[in-house]
Structure formats: structure tokens, C-alpha cells
């Protein structure tokens, strides 16, 4: 009987100890749970920027039954286009001429007999320039090339004009800051409405920058946007 008393006393101490630990453990869990109250907000930053590079492929087509004549006409047409571009202030260093693509209709298994010309050639003179205004003025006068007998190829995907904006690194820091500030404004409004206060940042992520044409009619004006996502702690 006497030997069981120490065991009973030890057991009682264990029950009391576990009870105390359970109380403090529960309080700690509640504290952690309250500390983990968060709000996630997104902030958007946008800029409209002019493209700083234009790539303008001028594609044209010629046809002939004589291959030598075709090459002569290709050289003449390329020279006419280069002269036209020079007259509109486009520097020769910004102009390149691609090798022509020549199709022999007689070598095709379909439509060869009905083709009026045996050889058809497509060539491209490309302008790569940072002077958008000068190039766009030249674009507006391409009808003059048609008056000189140059048949421009329209609707060719490979010959579409491209406008590029390469100055993202110059505006990136300011846009990230703006997006983060807007995210905080949204989160702070939520905290006030819920009777809480905004705490420290738990985590933040920066979305990818996107660059797109502002609209279909103004591809030279770019819309640059980024969304930042920030998660904040909430405190009472």
C-alpha cells in the first residue's frame, strides 16, 4: 500500500502538468491563429509608351517567263524602293534586302498549264529603324511605289509591320513601386472596413510584365502593365 502512494502522487503531478501544458498550448494555438490572419491584395500599374523600334518589311512580287529578265526586274524594283525610302529620310544603314524567293510554275504538278508566267518571284526590302515618325510618314506614301509599277504584297503574315518597345528596364522600378502602393491601399481599406489594422508583409509576388498594342489602329502605342500580389498580416 505504501509503495503505491508515490506512484499515485507522481500520476497526480503528471495530470496537473499535462493540464497546464494543455492550457498554455491552447492559448499559444489561439495566438498563432490570430497572428495568421491575413489579407491578399493586388495592385495594377499601367503605362502607355511609344514603341522605339519599327520593323517594316516591304514585300513585292514580280513575274516573267524569262529568268534573267526576272532577276533584272528584281534589282530595278529593289533600287526603286531604296530610292523611295531615301527620299523620305530613311538612312541606308536601316535598309536591308533579302534574297528573293522564286517559284517555277512549270515544276509544279498543278496549275502549270494555266499559269500566264513561268516564274514568280517575291522579294522583301526591310526597314529596321528607331525613327518611327520618319518611317510612318514613308508608309503613308507607299502608293507612289505602285505608280512605279511595283506590286506590293498585302496580307502576307511574314511581311507585317512590327513595333517594339525595348525600354522596359527604364520604367520597371517605378511601375513595381506603383503596383505595390496600390496593393497596400486596397489591403488597408479592407483592414479598416473589418476593424483591423494592416501589419507587415507576409509574402509578395510580382507578376510578369506584359507589353501589347494599345489598340488595333495604333500598334505603335504600347500598353505596359504589371500586377503585384501582396499578402499582409492583420492585427487588432
Question: Each residue of 26-69: pLDDT tens digit?
Answer: 443 334 445 578 999 999 999 999 999 999 999 999 999 999 99
Confidence band, pLDDT 50/70/90 cuts, at residue 18: very low
* Nearest-angstrom CA–CA distance, 163 and 169: 17
Give the model's pLDDT for residue 3. 53
Contact (CB, 8 A) for 87 and 122? no
Torsion angle of C-alpha atoms 188, 193, 197, 199, degrees rounded to 10: -40
In tens, the pLDDT along 187-200 reads 999 999 989 999 99
> How does the average pLDDT of the chain come out, rounded?
86
Q: What is the largest CA-CA distance in the chain?
A: 124
Show the domains of the chain with their CATH numbers. Answer: 35-49+167-235 (3.30.110.170), 53-162 (3.30.70.2970)
Lowest mean pLDDT among 53-62, 107-116, 134-143, 202-211: 107-116
- Dihedral angle computed from the Cα positions of residues 25, 28, 34 and 38, in that order, rounded to the nearest 10 degrees: -100
DSSP code per residue over 81-104: HHHHHHHTT--GGGEEEPPPEEEE
Amino acid at each position: 500500500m505504501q509503495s503505491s502512494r508515490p506512484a499515485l502522487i507522481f500520476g497526480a503531478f503528471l495530470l496537473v502538468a499535462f493540464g497546464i501544458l494543455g492550457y498554455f498550448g491552447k492559448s499559444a494555438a489561439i495566438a498563432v491563429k490570430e497572428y495568421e490572419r491575413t489579407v491578399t491584395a493586388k495592385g495594377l500599374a499601367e503605362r502607355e509608351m511609344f514603341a522605339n523600334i519599327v520593323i517594316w518589311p516591304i514585300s513585292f512580287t514580280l513575274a516573267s517567263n524569262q529568268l534573267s529578265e526576272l532577276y533584272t526586274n528584281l534589282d530595278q524594283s529593289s533600287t526603286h524602293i531604296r530610292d523611295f525610302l531615301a527620299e523620305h529620310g530613311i538612312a541606308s544603314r536601316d535598309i536591308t534586302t533579302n534574297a528573293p524567293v522564286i517559284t517555277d510554275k512549270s515544276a509544279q504538278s498543278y496549275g502549270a498549264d494555266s499559269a500566264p508566267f513561268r516564274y514568280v518571284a517575291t522579294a522583301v526590302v526591310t526597314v529596321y529603324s528607331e525613327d518611327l515618325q520618319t518611317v510612318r510618314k514613308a508608309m503613308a506614301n507607299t502608293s507612289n511605289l505602285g505608280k512605279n509599277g511595283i506590286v506590293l504584297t498585302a496580307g502576307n503574315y511574314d511581311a507585317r509591320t512590327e513595333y517594339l518597345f525595348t525600354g522596359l528596364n527604364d520604367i520597371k522600378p517605378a511601375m513595381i513601386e506603383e503596383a505595390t502602393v496600390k496593393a497596400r491601399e486596397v489591403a488597408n481599406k479592407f483592414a479598416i472596413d473589418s476593424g483591423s489594422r494592416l501589419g507587415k508583409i507576409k509574402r509578395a509576388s510580382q507578376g510578369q510584365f506584359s507589353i501589347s498594342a494599345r489598340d488595333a489602329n495604333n500598334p505603335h502605342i504600347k500598353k505596359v502593365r504589371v500586377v503585384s500580389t501582396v499578402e499582409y498580416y492583420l492585427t487588432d
